[in-house]
Amino acid sequence: MDGTVATRVMLAAHGLGPGDALALGLEQQGAKVARLGACGASRADWQAAVDAAVRDLGDLDLVVHGTALPASQPADLDSLSLADWQQATSGALFETLCCLQAALPHLRERGGTIVVLGPSAALVGAPGLVPWITLAEAQRTLVKAAARQWGVHSIRLHWLGLGSALYGDALRDAHIPAVPELGPPPPALGRVPDAHADAAALVALLAGRGAASLTGATLNLDGGDWMVP
Amino acid sequence: MTQDASSLPEAGLLAGRVALVTGAGGGIGRGIAQALAAAAARVVVTGRRGPTCDETVAAISREGGIAIAVEMDVSDETAVRRAVRTAVDRFGGLDIVVQNANAGGDSARPIAIDAITGDDLLRQARVAWDGSFLCARAALPHLKAGGRGRFIVLGSSFGMHGAAMNPVYSALKGGDRGFVKSLAREWGPHGITVNGIEPSAATEPTEVFFAQNPVVRDLYLKLFPLGRLGSPREDIGRAVVALCSDLMGYVTGQNLPVDGGLYTAL
C-alpha cells in the first residue's frame, strides 16, 4: 500500500476461501478493511450494507468482491436442479451487479478501484464446475464493460484469477485441469502464491498509482500455471 | 435463383444426423437451421413463436430439406424436454443441439450499469443461460447414445471485449464462454464436443437500422477486415455445419469468432 490510496477497503466476498487471508494481508499493509457478510438478495439490501461499511471506513478507495463456490458444486451439470443452476449463475451475477451499483455512489467523485476475484480455472474451464466458471467468465466480462463505462469517473476495475490452491478445501473434490507442460511440475515460479501476502500485494498494486493507467485487465495469480495466449 | 442443393459446399456433410436449433424462427437461428438442413441433417426448428418456426421449416422444405417446427420457450423446463423428446420420436435420435436463443430486443438495448434492474438481468439470463442448461441436461442422454454429439452455443463478440453499451448482454455472453469451456471438459469422455461461436451477422433488425443510419453503417463496417457483416446462412450457418461435421470432430472447448476478422485480440 503506498499510503495515499486504497487505505479504505471494502471486502464483499462472503464465504470465499481466500477472502479472510487477503483482508488480513491488506490490513498488515496499512489498510482499514470492512468485511461484508451476506448482503441479501436485493439492490436495496446491498446498498444499505455498503453504505454502512463506508460510514465505518470514513470513505472508500478499494472494493474487493468475489463469489464462493456453492455447496452444490462440484457436480456434473446434468445432476443439478434448475434452482441450483440459477442460484449459482444468474443469482450470483445479480449480487455482483448489486455490489458494483452500491459502490458507485461512493467512488464516483474521487475515483477508486474495484477488483473482482475469480478462479483462474475460468480461463480454461473445469468439469464439475460449469455454473461457477460460467459465472466467473460473466463477472470477468462485466468488469470490462464497467471499466469502459466508469473510466470517465477514474474508477478502475480488474478481474483477478486466483489459483485453485488458494480456495483450499472448497476445491478439494474438483478436477482442475493441469497445465499442459511437460517437465518439472508447475507453477513456473516453483511455488503456489498465497492470499495473505501475494494476492494482497497484487491487489494493493492494482489500487495504487503504479496501476493508474490500467483498467479492465484480466490478471492470473497462479505462479505461472496458465499463461494467456 | 436457388442454387442446386447438391452443389453447396455443405451438401451431405451431416447426412443421417438430427439437429435441434433454438431461436430458429428468424435471423441467425434460421440461417443455421437452413445450413444444417442443406448439409442433410434433419432439423427440429424451435422458437417461442410457432408461425415463425413454420416459416423456417417452409424455407427448408422448399429446398428439399427435412425439418419440423416445435414451439418452445427455451427457459421452460417442460417445453425443452418435450422438444427433445419430439426430435427423438420423429427422427430416431438427437446428435446436434445449437443453443442460439436470446432475449430478443433486450439484448441490443444500451444501458448504464447503475440503471440495470434485476429484471433486466434475470429476464435475459432465463433465455440465454437457463436455455443452455436445460437444453444440455435434456439432450445429454441422446448426445451420448449417438456417439458423435455436438453442442454449440451462440455467443457474441460483446462477450469477448465487454461492450460498454450493453453490460448485461456482454456479461451473459462472456459467461457462455465459461460454459462452453467447462462443459467441453465434462462431456469430452462421452465423445461429445462443445463449442461456441461468436458471430457478427446481418439480421433483419440490423439491416433496418443500417438503412436508417447509413453513416453509422459505413463507420461500423470499417471495423471488419472483410468489410461486411456475415450472412446468417452462408457464413454463420456453414461455420456451425463445419463444427458439427466429422471434419472438425477433434475441436472442442473453443469459442470461435465468426466475424469477418472483427475480434482478433487473443
pTM comes to 0.96
In this prediction, residues A2-24 reach a mean pLDDT of 85
Does residue B220 have an active-site annotation? no
Q: Which helix (H) or strand (E) holds B56?
A: helix B50-62
pLDDT digits (tens, 9 = 90+) for A157-169: 999 999 998 998 8
* CA–CA dist B21, B15 (Å, integer): 17
Contacts of A40 in chain B (CB under 8 A): none
Sheet holding A112-119, edge to edge: A32-35, A8-12, A62-66, A112-119, A155-162, A217-221
A116, three cell numbers: 473482482
CB-based contacts of B106: which residues, under 8 Å, 6+ apart?
B120, B123, B124, B169
CB-based contacts of B48: which residues, under 8 Å, 6+ apart?
B25, B71, B72, B73, B74
Chain A residue with the nearest C-alpha to that of B112: A149
In this prediction, residues B3-26 reach a mean pLDDT of 91
In this prediction, residues B104-112 reach a mean pLDDT of 67
CA distances (Å), B204 to each of A20, A100, A152, in order? 51, 35, 34
| pLDDT of A126 strictly over 80 | yes
Pick A138's closest partner by Cβ from B171, B180, B184. B171
Place of cell 471488419: B224
CB spacing of A138 vs B185 below 8 angstroms: no
The percentage of residues in chain A with a pLDDT greater than 90, rounded to a whole number, is: 81
CB spacing of B136 vs A145 below 8 angstroms: no
The SS3 call for residue A8 is strand
> B1: how many CB neighbours lie within 10 A of its CB?
3
State phi, psi for A46 to the nearest 5 degrees.
Answer: -65, -45
CB spacing of A145 vs B163 below 8 angstroms: yes
| pLDDT of A50 strictly over 50 | yes
A132, three cell numbers: 461457477
Q: With CA atoms as reference, report the closest residue to A67 among A46, A88, A44.
A: A88
Residue B223 pLDDT: 95
The one catalytic residue among B169, B220, B250, B263:
B169
CA distance B246 to chain A (A): 24
* CA–CA dist B177, B174 (Å, integer): 5
CA distance A187 to chain B (A): 21
* CA–CA dist B74, B51 (Å, integer): 16
CB-based contacts of B227: which residues, under 8 Å, 6+ apart?
B221, B260
Pick B125's closest partner by Cβ from A90, A136, A140. A90
Task: Indicate the length of chain B as a whole number.
Answer: 266
Residue A174 pLDDT: 92
State phi, psi for B14 to the nearest 5 degrees.
Answer: -120, 30
Mean pLDDT of chain B: 94
Q: With CA atoms as reference, report the closest residue to B150 among B53, B54, B34, B32.
A: B32
CB spacing of B185 vs A127 below 8 angstroms: yes
| pLDDT of B234 strictly over 80 | yes
Chain B residue with the nearest C-alpha to that of A120: B178
Contacts of B186 in chain A (CB under 8 A): 76-77, 127-128, 130
CATH domain A8-221 topology: Rossmann fold (3.40.50)
| pLDDT of B113 strictly over 60 | yes
Pick B170's closest partner by Cβ from A94, A126, A145. A145
The answer to whether residue B178 neighbours chain A at the CB level (below 8 Å) is yes
| pLDDT of B104 strictly over 60 | no
CB spacing of A134 vs B129 below 8 angstroms: yes
Contacts of A74 in chain B (CB under 8 A): none
The answer to whether residue B263 neighbours chain A at the CB level (below 8 Å) is no
* CA–CA dist B181, B253 (Å, integer): 4
Chain A residue with the nearest C-alpha to that of B189: A127
Residue B1 pLDDT: 43
Pick B129's closest partner by Cβ from A43, A77, A89. A89
Contacts of B126 in chain A (CB under 8 A): 90
pLDDT digits (tens, 9 = 90+) for B32-86: 999 999 999 999 999 999 999 999 999 999 999 999 999 999 999 999 999 999 9
Contacts of B162 in chain A (CB under 8 A): 141-145, 147-148, 216
Contacts of A116 in chain B (CB under 8 A): none
Pick A122's closest partner by Cβ from B159, B161, B178. B178
- What does the radius of gyration of chain A's CA atoms come to, in whole angstroms? 17
Sheet holding B193-199, edge to edge: B66-71, B42-47, B18-21, B96-99, B150-154, B193-199, B255-258
Pick A216's closest partner by Cβ from B113, B162, B181. B162
Give me the total of CB pairs closer than 8 Å, taking one residue from chain A and one from chain B: 139
Chain B, 133-162: which have a CB under 8 Å from a chain A CB?
Answer: 133-134, 136-137, 140, 159-162
Ranges of each domain in chain A: 8-221
* CA–CA dist A57, A32 (Å, integer): 7
Residue B106 pLDDT: 53
List the single best residue of A79, A96, A141 to mutate versus B (max B Cβ within 10 A). A141
Contacts of B166 in chain A (CB under 8 A): 145
* CA–CA dist B232, B29 (Å, integer): 8
* CA–CA dist B57, B67 (Å, integer): 6
What value of ipTM does the predicted structure carry?
0.95
Q: Which domains does chain B have, with CATH numbers?
A: 5-258 (3.40.50.720)
Which residues partner with B256 through β-bridges?
A: B197
Question: What is the Cα A22 distance to its own chain's centre?
Answer: 11
Residue B8 pLDDT: 85
Q: Which helix (H) or strand (E) holds B239?
A: helix B238-244
